[in-house]
Structure 1
Amino acid sequence: MGTSVYEIDLFNRKGFVRKVCRACGKAFWTLNHEKELCGDQPCVEYEFIGKPAVTKEFTLRSLRESFLGFFEREGHTRIRRYPVVARWREDVYLVGASIYDFQPWVTEGLVPPPANPLTISQPCIRLTDLENVGRTGRHLTSFEMMAHHAFNFPGRQVYWIDETVDYCYRFYVEELGIPEERIAFKEDFWEGGGNAGEDLEVLIDGLEVATLVFMHYATVNDTLQPLQNRIVDTGYGLERNLWLLRASPNVYEALYGDLVERFARLAGFHKVEENILREVSKVAGFVDARRPSDLRNSIAQRIGIEVEELEAILKPYEALYAILDHTRTLLWMLGDGVVPSNMGAGYIARLLLRRSVRLMEPLQIPVTLRDIMEAHIEASYQDFPEFKEVAEKILEILELEEKRYRQSLVKGIELLKRRAKELKSKGISALSTEDLVFFYDSHGVPPEILKEQAGKLGLEIKVPGDFYSALAKRHERVQRIAKAADAYRSKLLQELLGLPETQLLYYDDSYLRTFKAKVLKVVDGRYVILDRTAFYPEGGGQLCDNGRLKFRNHEALVKDVQNIGGFVLHGLEGTIPEAGEEVIGEVEWNRREQLMRHHTAAHILNAAARHVLGRHVWQTGAEKAVEKARLDISHFKRISPEELRRIEELANEVVLRNLNVRISFMPREKAEEKYGFILYQGGVFPGKTIRVVEIEGWDAEACGGLHCSSTGLVGFIKILSAERIQDGVERLTFAAGEAAIRYVQRMEDLIRETAEALHVSKEELPRAAAEMASELKVLRSEAERLRERLIESQVESMLKEAESLGDVRLLIKFMEGADVDANFAVKIANTLVNKDGGLVAIFFVLGKTVQVVAMVGDEAQKKGLHAGKIVTLVADRAGGGGGGTPRLGQGGGLERDKVLGMASYLRQAIGGWVKEQN
């Protein structure tokens, strides 16, 4: 890259000189002709701490208003912040910069920006330096990126580098009053997300306060290709700029000074002298904060105290800073509808929440996370009143997640004990990083607690310095798994090039039942492409239409309909028409009508769930079939029967009101402006024009499915069940219209038949069922007691049957009978190995399916025998599958004939293992 791009009018006009930094070797522009260092870290220390550049007092609110107001006066339109959850994008979960708001649709020129030029203060979340938060004095997990953007498209040039740098200079010098000689502009080059361009880092007294990026390249195969669109992408960190203006010892004191003082006083912390905090921030610019010992040693040397004394002073404050940071980030996330879970944005929320709980424990502070969150909500109320509206839900989620975390610790520590035993049996004395990730992701146990417990169990643990940020990075982007069908679709699209896209008659009239069309092409001898169709293809969770095609004297059944890149393929059974033939299509109306009812009902129910459960509810999946449909929604706990009933009542109220269902195609930016991002309940809708399905006064979503023209046509909606299908996701199974009526009729038949069988009336059924349940409980208890006696009676004789194989004994039994199952086999095997630790018991349960249970006693395990491996050996030889722990292995799906001949093979294999150990 040449330097001409940086020969900016302002630099020439004001007398800036281009220098090369003596430390890092990069070029920068300054008014100070004697300056030899660029002013960035680690080239220089922070020079602003304790030396305010201006006399005016600023708050977050007043600084944000100064920025937005300045750019408004300079012809920019102020736009409202976007949610931190990037629901309009398919590649990321959270907004990490203000430019995310406009990717990909605006930056690629597909839709116009909401204003041009514009200014915004966008909350952003980045966890790339999570471990550094609290330690360095400058790192945060969330921040507001104040920005001004200009989108230069062919035929519409707004402004470029000269104007951008001029705006920046004037904002700092004229608006804020910072002396111009304290400002430096450092040259750099930015790449990311497939785009690239020159940039200037804006540095004041050692602190980077803004970045000015000029995107005008695409990166293609490691080469730069000029873009038609040139985009001004700027970012001014609100919190960093406040830190500069307040000249506080660190960014946390600038942001949370009052809260730090309040909670530190309640906890009884010793007050830290400002010079210590100041030195922490300065030294952290030179030392990797993920190596705390290096950081501590450097600071201790500079201020002349022992490392242990410094540790005792700093550690409580570092934890408090991190807790205040994490809870503020959680406010953004939970307030914008994130539900903690084990996936996507929910994973990040849970990670921050649990880390906050962990950080609070050693502080013994007489406040809760709820208290801290309430303080954040109150402090942000004037700027973000929307969080006050959902405050109770946010606080409920916090308390519930904290409770779950503590419960998971108990289970996780028990699992650690088992893992320690397993590793020791293999001669391994350390937990791997993979183990740490497994215990955290699957059981919620942080590595710090593992380290405490592992010491007691004789295990070593080395926790990577970037453990949490590495976990966060795994979950920051949507992981799309390529499918075999993707390759087929790509190949097929190449074959279809040159054909006109199919005319979609079902969008012109969703009640159209018959139509005439022409066959354009036959694909794979089974699929036909028509020039126009009324058959709806599978998509958006809605099953495809069925029906028939008539031509000449033939008829073919339409069984599968798919849209591939604008071409609708009709899968046929029967005689296949030839290319060029005229056909008459007939849609199977009863199926279509029921699918439309279920799709419209899904929209009605989703909005009803948001009304009842809260604004955090978002659709995560759906399927609309003929007899029933399902709707998956995000929610942080199980839905109660009362809540379910209220959702159902609300949905049916909407049906009875017979609201109009309006469908329109709108420019994306107009739809977002009118309805907000609630449009994307069903996921991202591609393209610059989106199809909006609006239930008048109730719901609006971007949707490609077919719907009833009014809610009254949906008919009765009945929720059939609610279940938790994964962490943070509830599944509502429901039926509407005739399907709902048929379901209710079936339930009535079952009730009537059950009442007749019990010789009671319908009204007496609950009492009769309770009595039967009580009697059944007694019978089960008696059966279990008899089973225990049966086991006891068989154990001694079975032990005598065991044969010796070196230092272990082996028992192989084939069991069958009405009362025999895998659980019975496990109980017998457990009793056997408890009595004889050198025993290996293998039971084959011969029922409708063949199962295997293997149990290895403690002494036999020391000889290298592993129950899970024995089961795997059986499964490899007899089909099926299975595995397990060193003590217990289980498998199933085995082939009966192969199992019956396995005894001698197992004796030989296990005998061989024992000999190897000796």
Structure 2
Amino acid sequence: MEELRTRMFTGMNFYRKQCPYCKHHFWTLNKDQESCGDQPCTPYLFIGNPPGKFRPESIRDVRERFLQFFERHGHVRIRRYPVVARWRSDVYLVGASIYDFQPWVTEGIVPPPANPLTLSQPSIRFTDIDKVGRSGRHLTGFEMMAHHAFNYPDKYVYWIDETVEYAHEFFTKELGLRDDEITYKENVWEGGGNAGECLEVLVGGLEVATLVFMHYRTVDGKYVEMPMKIVDTGYGLERIYWLLTGKPTVYDAVFGSFIERLRSKLGLPKPSDEMLMHMATYFGQLDPEVTSIEKAYEYISSKVGLDVGEVRNILKAQETLYILSDHGRTLSWMMADGAIPSNSGVGYLGRLLLRRMLRSMYVVGIEMPLTEIMNMELEFLRDDYPEVYEERQTILELVDLEERKFRELLRQAPGVIERVIRDRERRTGKRELSVDDLVTLYDSQGLPPEIVREIASSKLGIGVAVPDDFYSRLAARYQRQVGEEKPKVDVNPVEVQDLPQTKELFYEDMRLFRFNARVLRVIRGKYVILDQTAFYPEGGGQVADHGVIKHGRGEARVIDVQRVGPVIVHVIEGEAPGEGEVVEGIVDGVRRLDLMRMHTATHILLQSIRRVLGRHVWQAGAEKNVPFSRLDVTHYKLPSRDEIRKIEELANQAVLANQPVIIRWLGRTEAESKFGVYIYQGGVVPGAKLRIVQVGSDDEPYDVEACGGMHVSRTGEIGMIKIVRVEKIQEGVVRFIFTTGRHALSYAESLEDSISEISELTGVSKDAVVKGVNELVSDVRRMEGRVKALMRKAIKSDISEALGREVVIGRVGFTYIEYEGEDRSYIQEFAKEYLSNRPNTVLLVINRLNNGTEYLVYLGSESSKRVSVKDIMARLNEGVNGKGGGSATYGQGFTQTKPSIDVFVNIVKSVLQTININS
């Protein structure tokens, strides 16, 4: 690549060579150097023999030396961004420092916060998660130290020559490396929709930095030149620290004191430094995707002169310490930024880390609670990440919750695995587990594949092959996918692309409810586009305005308003106006004011929830509607009654304070610099300028968000915020249903009416209603206890009756029982009780109903291996003219006729006889 022939390479007489192994070109001052200096082409040369003169006492020394170096060279230091990329819709997590500036800065939409700039950005990548703890160098979480320069067509900052010179000066002058110890390998980098040539900086067999010269946009797999040229560098803080300490692995360098404290607590043996050096050196050159882990153990065993079993045991224990160190820090970063472990979204990736930590502990027999280990690590991280330590209580509570779920999962695991194996055997005839089954068991049940393999082998006698890159495969499936929203109206953007952008009067005056406008287009008699409008279109969780459009031939009701491209479309019912006609629009002002109260209340309520439940809370969805609105937030459990009361009190205090609601337009960079990424509570907001809604004064704002919705001018106009209901709608998401203003008053009145009605029904005064209801509930519970006792007696009698009828047909038992209009829950309890002691039985239940006959088939755990519910139900349906189906162990059908019990019994017997004859 001729572009990478820099003035430094030319001036210092660097040699340009080609690596015989990877075929990449590289630059070096060492004329005898053959390989590129990267793994696996070159062995580690720095372990036990660190290069350079700088010997840092802590990782902070390296970070500070880097940032100060670039500050002295004219760069502005900026604070690090969160690891959860709230400002982006294409990724969940920040994977490099350039993610902070994509796409808004890199596309030239907004200016960068400084130019040039420097920072040290915590970053997370799951690409090599299966190598963490094994290779000695891979991490899921790392700090990418960086300096960036953004070159515009009319403003040049610096480019390739200066970038390479900065890197060389930093490594030689600041860290004391020799010129000939540094290799620059040529490559091409792609990421986040951008690309460019790059130079990888290598020292002693280790890549320590990458210098990317970004000037392409990737479009349909092709490179398109950008107007901007961006210097995008990444210096690995942890790797540079490892290099300068010469420790056996990056984990020993970065987490050394924590690992030793944990090792002591767990009583694990400590390998010698020589042993660790051999492991790191050899393992570092082996790729699990190419060579299996077992072969790697054998290879290392031959090199270090130890039995392969001993090597495996030592590595497993070491690997666990390393995994706990790396994953614990990454998980702490994520949870401190509001990523709650769950089955979806960014929470899925958090749970992946947690389950991998718990799996590693299980494999080596660690019984110490993970909360204790995480607490130790949070103390270790305290000085470097004080903002993470502040969330310590929430992090530990989340870990404890997940650990309890995991232990319950282990208890249920054998039965779950057996069912999956049985299902596969029925479908394919093979008693085995595939990789797809392992993925299903992880995604649906949370069972790590190593635990599945152990249980399947020890308890079921089945061998299971687990891919070495299993967790990388899982993580790759969970990158954010942004689907296009389905249009809310039947108007193709092509139909309106020639029209000018609709003037948005609702932003000029949110209390403008009457206006005049010209009709630009009427589509299919029900979609009207005006040149300007005061009707607010649905957006930001706020529903659209309603009202009427008056015109020469009458009026049309506006029932919906939506954006389509640059125009606003009014959906009408009634006579449509004519194109070119001047009409009068009348917005339903009462409804609009209600929605304004709801929207501002949503901001206040969200902030109140965060203040009570914690900063991990983020908006997960909202609908501002009347008479009730909803707000979905990320939280790991249902709030207590006391917490809900505190949230409501705090929200209403903000209302009573009658604080101003200030709306201003700010440049994206200015808004982020001033308020942080919290402004994206409602999701990613496009555009160079953001409409910022601030509740409260500039001195002490209560809440600040980027929002396009309608709001009151002071909080006192809301009247009152009343939480109606709180419910858990999915794992990690809690929904608040609330109301405001006159609707809150109506709700309070309806509660009063309900209390009055209960008072009349129970014959007690309103004041004594709660006491009376409690007494009724106690009576009901006592009665339920008696009913259950009677049901157990009845079931015992029915079991005795069914046992008396049971016969053996071939290799399974068969029995039946008949009921008249029996409750389904009773039948299920009877079947469960019967088959728990008779697992090799087929049970037929006939239940006579007023409108026909219900027939139910239950299989025990053993009989289900030999008998197909599908076959029995097919024959029953045919024989009694009924309809039904079933699962592996249960079938249900219904016929409008009333055949005798013998008809059902003889059909099932004939099916069982056929099955046993064939078998």
Tell me whether the two structures share a fold, i.e. TM-score over 0.5: yes
Residue 503 of structure 2 corresponds to residue 503 of structure 1: yes
2:728 aligned residue: 724
CA distance in 2, matches of 1:479, 1:854: 43
1:713 paired with 2:717, answer: yes
- AA aligned to 2:561 is V
Residue 214 of structure 1: SS of its match in structure 2?
strand
Normalised by the length of structure 1, the TM-score is 0.92
Q: Quick one: distance in 2 between partners of 1:798 and 1:374? A: 57
Amino acid at match of 2:6: I
How is 1:490-529 mapped onto 2 (pairs within 5 angstroms)? 492-529=492-529
Alignment of 1:94-493 (within 5 A): 94-289=93-288, 291-361=292-362, 363=364, 368-423=369-424, 427-455=429-457, 456-475=459-478, 477-482=479-484, 485=487, 492-493=492-493
Q: 1:821 to 1:151 in 2, by over 3 A?
A: farther
CA distance in 2, matches of 1:674, 1:593: 30
Matched with 1:698 is 702
What residue in structure 2 maps to residue 570 of structure 1?
570
Return the alpha-carbon distance in structure 2 between the equivalents of residues 365 and 794 of structure 1.
Answer: 48
> Alignment partner for residue 750 of structure 1, among 745, 754, 760?
754
The 3-state SS of whatever aligns with 1:405 is: helix
Contact 1:814 1:844 in 2 (8 A): yes
Match of residue 855 from structure 1: 858
Question: What's the offset of the Cα at 1:21?
Answer: 1.3
Maintained 8 Å contact 1:826/1:853: no
Q: Residue in 2 aligned with 1:591?
A: 591
Distance 1:183 1:175 in 2: 14
Counterpart amino acid of 1:539? G
Q: Is the partner of 2:228 in helix, strand or coil?
A: strand
Q: Is the 8 A contact 1:865 1:913 kept in 2?
A: no
Q: Deviations over 1:671-721 (max 9, x none)?
A: 111111110111111111111111012001111111111111111111111
Indicate conservation of the 8 Å contact 2:89/2:482, yes or no: no
Query: C-alpha deviations, 1:601-646, integer Å up to 9, x for none?
Result: 1111100011111111111011122011111111122211110000
Q: Could you tell which deviates more after superposition, 897-906 or 287-296?
A: 897-906
Inter-partner Cα distance in structure 2 for 1:38 and 1:448: 37
Among candidates 756, 759, 782, match of residue 778 of structure 1: 782
Q: Deviation at 1:399? A: 2.2
Using the alignment, how far apart are the partners of 1:183 and 1:540 within structure 2?
Answer: 52
Contact 2:541 2:623 in 1 (8 A): yes
Matching of residue 841 in structure 1 with residue 840 in structure 2: no
1:757 CA displacement: 1.2
Cα separation, partners in 2 of 1:858 and 1:181, compared to 1, 3 Å: closer
Q: Judging changes above 3 Å, is the alpha-carbon distance between structure 1 residues 798 and 329 closer, same or farther for their aligned structure 2 residues?
A: closer
Distance 1:809 1:324, change over 3 A: closer
Sort the Cα spacing of 1:444 and 1:111 in 2 relative to 1 into closer, same or farther, 3 A: same
The 3-state SS of whatever aligns with 2:253 is: helix
SS in 2 for 1:398: helix
Q: Are residues 433 and 845 of structure 1, via their aligned partners in 2, closer, same or farther at CA, if it must alter by over 3 Å? A: farther
Judged with a 3 Å threshold, the aligned counterparts in structure 2 of structure 1 residues 803 and 537 are, in CA distance, closer, same or farther, namely farther
Instruction: Give the aligned partner of residue 36 of structure 1.
Output: 34
Q: How far apart are residue 901 of structure 1 and its match? A: 14
**Counterparts of 1:878 and 1:522 in 2: how far apart (Å)?**
56
Instruction: State the SS of the aligned residue for 1:678.
Output: helix
State the distance in 2 between where 1:67 and 1:479 align.
36
Shift of 1:206: 0.9
* 8 Å contact from structure 1 (residues 544, 561) kept in 2: yes
SS state at 2:467 partner: coil
Matched with 1:644 is 644
Deviation at residue 311 of structure 1 after TM alignment: 2.5
CA distance in 2, matches of 1:234, 1:902: 80
Q: CA deviation at 1:494?
A: 1.2
The answer to whether the 8 Å contact 2:185/2:201 transfers is yes
Give the distance between the partners of 1:872 and 1:443, measured in 2 at CA: 34
- Residue deviations 1:418-450, cap 9 Å, x none? 434555566432122222222222222222222
User: What is the TM-score with the length of structure 2 in the denominator?
Assistant: 0.92
Give SS of 2:520's match: strand
Q: What displacement does 1:546 show?
A: 1.1
Q: Offset of 1:795 from its aligned partner? A: 7.1
5+ residue gaps, structure 1, are none
State the distance in 1 between where 2:855 and 2:530 align: 55
Per-residue CA distance 1:748-785 (angstroms, 9 max, x = gap): 11111111111111222222222212222233344445
The question of 1:55 aligning with 2:53 is answered yes
| Cα distance in 2 for residues equivalent to 1:272 and 1:454 | 32
Does structure 2 retain, via aligned residues, the 8 Å contact 1:267–1:364? no
Q: Is the 8 A contact 1:616 1:634 kept in 2?
A: yes
Q: Quick check: 1:52–1:244 contact (8 Å CA) kept in 2?
A: yes
Task: Kindly state the Cα deviation for residue 89 of structure 1 after the two structures are TM-superposed.
Answer: 0.4
User: Does the 8 Å CA contact 1:807/1:914 hold for their aligned counterparts?
Assistant: no
The Cα RMSD (Å) is: 3.3
Please state whether the residue corresponding to 2:255 is helix, strand or coil. Answer: helix
Counterpart check, 1:762 vs 2:776: no
1:358/1:869 CA distance change after superposition, 3 Å:
farther
Closer/same/farther in 2, CA of residues 573 and 845 from structure 1, 3 Å limit? farther
CA distance in structure 1 between the partners assigned to 2:322 and 2:502 by the alignment: 59
1:911 deviates by: 5.7
Identity of aligned residues (%): 45
SS in 2 for 1:430: coil
1:177-207 superposed Cα distances (whole Å, 9 cap, x missing partner): 1100011111111223332211111111111
User: Offset at 1:145?
Assistant: 0.4
Q: Which amino acid aligns with 1:653?
A: Q
TM-aligned CA distance change 1:613 to 1:198, over 3 Å: same
1:71-110 correspondence to structure 2 within 5 Å: 71-110=70-109
- Equivalent residues of 1:808, 1:840 under 8 A apart: no
Q: Matched residue of 1:87: which SS?
A: coil
- Provide the rounded CA distance (Å) in 1 between the counterparts of 2:27 and 2:732: 51
Amino acid across the alignment from 1:678: Y
Shift in Å, 1:845: 7.8
Instruction: Supply the distance in 2 between the matched residues of 1:794 and 1:196 (Cα, whole angstroms).
Output: 74
Aligned counterpart, 2:679: 679
CA distance in 2, matches of 1:521, 1:844: 64
Q: CA 1:8 to 1:404, structure 2 compared with 1: closer, same or farther past 3 Å?
A: same
Deviation string 1:122-149 (CA, Å, 9 cap, x unpaired) is 0001121112111111111110001111
How far did 1:850 drift?
Answer: 10
Task: Please identify, of 407-416 and 292-301, the stretch whose mean Cα deviation from structure 2 is larger.
Answer: 407-416
* Cα contact 1:722–1:730 (8 A) shared by 2: yes
Cα deviation code 1:378-436 (max 9, x no counterpart): 33333332223222222222222222221232233432244345555664321222222
Measured in 2, the distance between the counterparts of 1:835 and 1:278 equals 59
Number of aligned residue pairs: give it: 906
Provide the rounded CA distance (Å) in 1 between the counterparts of 2:537 and 2:885. 40
Q: Could you tell me how far apart the structure 2 residues matched to 1:583 and 1:853 are?
A: 66
The question of whether the paired residues in 2 share the 8 Å contact of 1:807 and 1:838 is answered with no
Contact 1:440/1:447 (8 A) holds in 2: yes
SS state of the match for residue 779, structure 2? helix
Q: Is the 8 A contact 2:872 2:908 kept in 1?
A: no
* Cα distance change on mapping 1:880 and 1:646 into 2, 3 Å: farther
